[in-house]
Structure 1
């Protein structure tokens, strides 16, 4: 019997816009000159501010879809080595989130960890989170940070700064062809 949090019941959202935001953050962090970071952040902030409520929900669902895809990739990679993704990824993620107190308050760290654990067990992160009510404003930056940290982790593992962006873009391209 499928769970109500099964990914097949989850809206995919605007994965393209979500990927653009995550990729923009990755590029800003890795910009050695430091010149693009403030401009990229301003553009991303303007983009998100221009979204209406339904569009914002679509991007939020898109971020959750990408998180699910990244954790699924991590789960498969860890299983090839006989390791549990939750055991190896979640503690590092939580430690990283706790080092970001200005962006991620301690009260939302359990929610972000729960979303990753949900994805690691094959559940939809946004449907899992939705069981507990509407998203809050206080969860937006932590969600962005969680998606960024997962992408950064995968890019480090693969030693490819564009791996996640390419993986998601290829999945989107394949979905368009289907």
Structure 2
């Protein structure tokens, strides 16, 4: 929902952050506690994994390498956001995307480096956002990435029942 909200903000042309939305996000995260925050981080990593899986399959269908075509664009975009994404976080986000592109769980990949730092939280969100936006541009559909995740969740829920 956070990524979808960010995408909608960009596409409606609003600039800056919405203070009310930021307050709601802060309240949500505070209410979750430490274990809930870990779940949000794992969920964000899962989004990145699913986005990269979709992008890998789309690129392979055209005999192209997702790492060659997506990761440089991701890195360039992240480096253009120095107030939100510290330069030292960019290699971590690139590594995370490459891990996901090769089929490795981003959460498992990250565990070898320890807990997420506070300085990496915004870059992690930015990475998920940029990958979703990339998918939306590729498909020429502003809601494709969100719909893809919603459909995946619906399939999981229907398979569990």
- The equivalent residue for 2:83 is 102
8 Å CA contact 1:98, 1:106 repeated in 2:
yes
- 2:48 is the counterpart of 1:67: yes
- The equivalent residue for 1:151 is 132
State the 1:31 CA deviation.
Answer: 1.6
8 Å CA contact 1:64, 1:125 repeated in 2:
yes
Cα deviation, 1:20-51, whole Å, max 9, x if unaligned, reads 1111111111123x289513333223322332
Consecutive unaligned residues of structure 2, counting only runs of 5 or more, are none
Distance in 1 (CA, whole Å) between partners of 2:29 and 2:10 is 19
Distance in 1 (CA, whole Å) between partners of 2:110 and 2:89 is 12
Once the two structures are superposed, the pairs formed by residues 6-45 of structure 1 within 5 Å of their partners are: 20-32=1-13, 34=14, 37-38=17-18, 39-45=20-26
Structure 2 vs 1, CA of residues 35 and 67 (structure 1 numbering), >3 Å: closer, same or farther?
A: closer
Q: TM-score, normalised by structure 2?
A: 0.93
Q: TM-score, normalised by structure 1?
A: 0.85
Distance in 2 (CA, whole Å) between partners of 1:27 and 1:48 is 20
- The runs of 4+ residues in structure 1 deviating greater than 6 Å are none
Once the two structures are superposed, the pairs formed by residues 45-60 of structure 1 within 5 Å of their partners are: 45-60=26-41
Distance in 2 (CA, whole Å) between partners of 1:37 and 1:108 is 21
Give the match's secondary structure for 1:26: helix
State the 1:99 CA deviation.
Answer: 0.3
| Larger helix fraction of residues | 2
Consecutive unaligned residues of structure 1, counting only runs of 5 or more, are 1-19
Distance in 2 (CA, whole Å) between partners of 1:116 and 1:68 is 8
Cα deviation, 1:97-155, whole Å, max 9, x if unaligned, reads 00000000010100000000000011001110110111111100000000000000000
